[in-house]
Amino acid sequence: MLRAIDHIVLTTRDAQACIAFYTALGCREERFGDGRRALHFGDQKINIHHAGREIMPHATIPAPGALDLCFLADRPLEQVMDALRQAGLSWFEGPVPRTGATGPIRSIYLRDPDGNLIEIAEPAT
């Protein structure tokens, strides 16, 4: 019955810092509805909720820093790491081998401003 993930919701303490981080990763910001904000990448998006002002309905316990996300890169991981360095961002682990949804991947790990674990991966060859 399920085909793909359309969007996820990220709860943040600081929307500006959150959006700056994810746009540095290549997402593009969108404003929609009544002042709502989202980050688009590929055919998906991340809706942004500010902690304490979440849009209903929401998770039972929405919390900044509770997500563990893995993104597939649109370029070789070495190029991703170069772009992160240029943006002043650093990772704390990797590249390391992992198992993705469709097979082996090679990943690096960093944290967003709220402490969410962000994994960026490429298919392993």
Cα Rg, the chain, nearest whole Å: 15
Catalytic residue check, 119: yes
Q: Which of 29, 30, 54, 119 is catalytic?
A: 119
Residue-wise DSSP of 27-74: -EEEEETTTEEEEEETTEEEEEEETTSPPSS--SS--TT--EEEEE-S
Catalytic center residues:
119
